[in-house]
């Protein structure tokens, strides 16, 4: 297989949106996708974008993607790499594409002197959980993820309110 991992470019926005929607279908979350190709192009490829994306491709086309950003660990005193999304199209699974994407990100994390690499996985996604564990990743069972969105975020973020 002629697998190649490369940084995504602005002109990749339409294919990225396709991949994001395919991921959302897999995760049963398509109803939550609000992004469009123009929005991705403007935000992901802006000069100071906080996020980065790599594509896995071959002569068969785009096989998958990984979108990530850097965070910071106060305990380690180092930045970390946070994997927001990893997706491999079904027809390319089991061929080392996911591992190649994670290896590429791990190389970036090491080059950037990150103290860790983290991501979230849906509790029901046993194939992904098994794959991540096979690479030496482990669950952070003592932590729960919390999220503010929509009205809750707007209400908390309104200036002048306490």
Residue 162 belongs to a domain: no
* Close Cβ partners of 24 (under 8 Å, ≥ 6 residues apart): 30, 32, 33
Q: What's the whole-model pTM score?
A: 0.91
> Domain limits at 43?
4-157
Strand 78-88 relative to strand 117-119, pairing? parallel
As a whole-number percent, the residues of the chain with pLDDT over 70 amount to: 98
What CATH number has the domain bearing residue 109? 3.40.630.30
The pLDDT tens digits of the residues spanning 126-150 come to 999 999 999 999 999 899 889 898 8
Set 68, 72, 132, 146: catalytic member: 132
| Residues 61 and 15: beta-carbon distance below 8 Å | no
* Total residue length of the chain: 162
Number of domains observed in the structure of the chain: 1
Task: Decide if 48 is inside a domain.
Answer: yes
Give the span between the Cα atoms of 89 and 54, in whole angstroms. 14
Q: Active site includes 132?
A: yes
């Amino acid at each position: 297989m002629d697998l190649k991992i490369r940084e995504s470019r602005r002109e990749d926005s339409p294919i990225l949106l396709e991949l994001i929607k395919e991921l959302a279908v897999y995760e049963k979350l398509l109803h939550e996708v609000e992004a469009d190709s123009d929005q991705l192009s403007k935000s992901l490829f802006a000069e100071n974008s906080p996020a980065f994306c790599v594509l896995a491709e071959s002569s068969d086309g785009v096989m998958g993607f990984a979108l990530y950003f850097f965070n910071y660990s106060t305990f380690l005193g180092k930045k970390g790499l946070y994997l927001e999304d990893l997706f491999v199209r079904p027809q390319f699974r089991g061929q080392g594409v996911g591992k190649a994407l994670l290896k590429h990100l791990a190389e970036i994390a090491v080059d950037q002197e990150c103290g860790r690499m983290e991501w979230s996985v849906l509790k029901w996604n046993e194939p992904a959980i098994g794959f991540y564990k096979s690479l030496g990743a482990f669950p952070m069972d003592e932590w729960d993820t919390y999220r503010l969105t929509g009205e809750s975020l707007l209400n908390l973020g309104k200036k002048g309110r306490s």
